[in-house]
Structure 1
Amino acid sequence: MRDFLYYSLMLLLGIAWYMYGQRLLRKGHRDENDELTKGPLGPFGLVMTAVITCCLLFALLRAAIRREISCLGKACHGQLYTLAENAGDYWSNMFFLLWMVLGLGYAIYVTLRIWFRN
């Protein structure tokens, strides 16, 4: 039951994040107050988000190749989940990393799309 709740909340968060990005993309060059439409990230935030996304993507690819991933929580610091022994925890952490990479990548996409409008 806890896993179902976790994954459904992650899905709802993803849907909300997607709808927020689409709402920003549907706006014109200016909003209702005649100010330029701003993206979800500023210049410094874009660089930091890109660095974090690249690090998470590297960790995701590394875990997929090695078939082992370290635990992502504070309670299990240093614990290593392998695909052979802990398949459920392995896929749970892989899903979380993938979800973070997709969410942050979408924020970068929306920001760049708003900045480089014609």
Structure 2
Amino acid sequence: MRSFIYYSLMLLLGFAWYKFGQKLLRKGYRDERGELTEGMVGPVGFLMCAGVACYLFFAMMRALIRGEVPCLGRGCQGVVYTLAANAGDYWANMFFMLWLVLGLGYALYVTYKIWFRL
């Protein structure tokens, strides 16, 4: 039951993130106060999000190829989950990394589209 609630909340948060990005994209070049519409992240945040997303994507590809993923929590540092021995924990960590990559990628996409509007 706990896993169901966890994944449901992750999907709900992803949906809210998507709706927020769509709301920003629907805004015009300027908002209601006459100021320029800003993206989800600024220039430094854009570079940081791009770096973290690339690192997580690389870690995800590495985990798919090697069949093992390190635990991503604070309470289990140093633990490595393998696909053969811990399939559930392996796929849970892979899903979490994929969710982070997609969320950061969407933030970068929305910011890029807002910055380069014509």
TM-score band, normalised by shorter chain: over 0.9
Matches within 5 A, 1:1-118: 1-118=1-118
For structure 1, the residue ranges without an aligned partner over 5 or more in a row are none
Partner of 1:35, secondary structure, is coil
| Identical residues among aligned pairs (%) | 66
Give the deviation of 1:18 after TM superposition. 0.1
Give the deviation of 1:75 after TM superposition. 1.0
TM-score (normalised: structure 2): 0.99
Partner of 2:69, secondary structure, is strand
Give the deviation of 1:74 after TM superposition. 1.2
Give the deviation of 1:3 after TM superposition. 0.2
Give the deviation of 1:41 after TM superposition. 0.6
Runs of 4+ in 1 over 4 A off after TM superposition: none
TM-score (normalised: structure 1): 0.99
For structure 2, the residue ranges without an aligned partner over 5 or more in a row are none
Query: One-letter code of the match for 2:32?
Result: E
* Aligned pairs, number: 118
Query: One-letter code of the match for 1:22?
Result: Q
CA distances 1:59-99 after superposition (whole Å, capped 9, x unpaired): 00000110100111111111110011000000000000000
Partner of 1:111, secondary structure, is helix
